[in-house]
Structure 1
Amino acid sequence: MALSLDSVVFGDMFLVSSTTIAIFIFILISIITVARLILLVLTSFFPVRAFNLLLKKSNQIEYMTHHGSFIASVS
């Protein structure tokens, strides 16, 4: 009886931890998306050169990863 109780408790802990990880990943992706949108708004209102360079670099890396040439361009 004690063994089955331990396995049930361990199963619940694993379920909670996997759900927590999924929520954490979702929040992380949301924060990154919101930060990119804020950066886009800032560059449209305040065309600071550093912000523009950062945004261009971010879009360039995203483009390269989507087209599979990121590794070749880095090396």
Structure 2
Amino acid sequence: MNKLDTFAGSVAVFQASYFEELLFEKSKVRYSKRNPQEVVEKYYLDELKARAEQTNHLQSFKYFLEFCSKARGNIAL
């Protein structure tokens, strides 16, 4: 995701700000790196995984999950 032309900061800062605002708008969850709250809970990851499987909205995350699944199969524990 690119940043808005009117945003003065970097792409990374824009994406972090966008995520924080979107998360609060949709879930009323306040997120910060220092206090991630609900986004570190298992149910949140499960919901992201379900969304990645059901939609095309999180393609890079879906590829990451596929990579993790393949890597897990190749690692002897």
TM-score if structure 2 supplies the norm length?
0.34
Name the structure, 1 or 2, with higher relative contact order (CA <8 Å, separation 6+).
1
Q: Normalized per residue, which structure has more helix?
A: 1
